[in-house]
Amino acid sequence: MNPPRTDARRHHDPEVRGFASDNYAGAHPEVLAALALANGGHQVAYGEDAYTENLQQVIRSHFGPTAEAFPVFNGTGANVVALQAVTDRWGAVICAESAHINVDEGGAPERVGGIKLLTVPTPDGKLTPELIDREAYGWDDEHRAMPQVVSIAQATELGTVYTPDEIRAICEHAHAHGMKVHVDGSRLANAAATLDVPLRTFTNAVGVDLLSLGGTKNGALFGEAVVVLDPDGIKHMKHLRKLSMQLASKMRFVSVQLEALLARDLWLRNARHANEMAQRLAEGVRAVHGVEILYPVQANAVFARLPHDVSERLQKRFRFYFWDEAAGDVRWMCAFDTTEDDVDRFVAALKEETAR
């Protein structure tokens, strides 16, 4: 069948890719095919459609019979909705200082969710029970926001991955203090690919209460979901999602994307590939004199420190961001569509620029 005619024109070169963000990538063709499949006819709006209903089964196949998905537009929205669901008006969330909810969401958890964040510096983006204890106190003190939730990211903002045992220890510790555990799983698929275990092994099986499940970085056009794993004490999600402006009227188009990723193995194929490209990149970078890799490369990100002028010259050839410009730290991200050739050309360019 011929593709439908359009008056739109292409405004970019589809062969150009950089290392700035896994969000710079387009959507996976299988996701686009699923969207086309879901198009046509009328379906009930606001989530009462057949695609959202089917998504629930897909989610339960990954996370067990009590899991329920609430599709949303984006990751910030997922985090804000999820965290509001488990905090009272006087509640606080303990998270890593480097957490996306703290540094990259424009203050939305605080300003939109009304949630106090209690942040803890970490060496590698990962919390531990000991680090949590720096902020886990004073539940009876009305002068202090009450710690009610621990939020971790898997994979973390610094490209590191928790083992299932590490998450279990966090959950046991948090639950012993009456706190719930939220996982920002914007890159949950990348973590599963690294650990080589099912998604449930490091989420509900070890005590995680709810999570923000990523789709966008995994090959979706857009779309994530709050997944409530243990509904005990988590109510009114539907109302919170609407109140937080995250309720899609044409929800079938969010749900079908998540179904396309998660029903079979597209989520894993995409994540594995992105992770493999990051490993290839790290290997190449390690051989370049004057470039230091900052954290273990455990997902699809490589953080490195290099001379500022080298980064600036390299940025003229490939897009990427400084992470801490004063320190000379940069972040290089791989996506599901990063090719071996992209990585090899980037490493060759890095070698050329450091040798100048």
Ligand X SMILES: Cc1ncc(COP(=O)(O)O)c(C=O)c1O
Q: Identify which of residues 52 and 74 has a Cβ nearer to ligand X in the complex.
A: 74
Q: How far apart are CA 162 and CA 156, in angstroms?
A: 8
Sequence letter at residue 274 = A
Minimum distance between the CB of residue 74 and ligand X, rounded to whole angstroms? 4
- For 187, phi and psi rounded to 5 degrees? -125, 40
Parallel, antiparallel, or unpaired: how do β-strands 329-333 and 301-305 relate? antiparallel
Q: Residue holding tokens 């905090």?
A: 87
H or E segment and range at residue 212: strand 210-213
Q: How far apart are CA 322 and CA 325, in angstroms?
A: 5
Q: Identify which of residues 187 and 280 has a Cβ nearer to ligand X in the complex.
A: 187
Closest-by-Cβ residue to ligand X is: 75
Helix (H, G, I), strand (E, B) or coil at 3: coil
Binding site for ligand X (CB under 6 A): 74-76, 100, 153, 157, 184, 186, 216
Minimum distance between the CB of residue 65 and ligand X, rounded to whole angstroms? 27
Minimum distance between the CB of residue 154 and ligand X, rounded to whole angstroms? 9
Q: Identify which of residues 153 and 210 has a Cβ nearer to ligand X in the complex.
A: 153
Cα dihedral: 303, 307, 312, 318 (round 10): -40
Minimum distance between the CB of residue 76 and ligand X, rounded to whole angstroms? 3
Q: Identify which of residues 123 and 290 has a Cβ nearer to ligand X in the complex.
A: 123
Minimum distance between the CB of residue 112 and ligand X, rounded to whole angstroms? 12
Parallel, antiparallel, or unpaired: how do β-strands 91-96 and 146-153 relate? parallel
Token output for 191: 């973590």
Minimum distance between the CB of residue 105 and ligand X, rounded to whole angstroms? 7
Q: Identify which of residues 59 and 80 has a Cβ nearer to ligand X in the complex.
A: 80
Q: Identify which of residues 101 and 132 has a Cβ nearer to ligand X in the complex.
A: 101
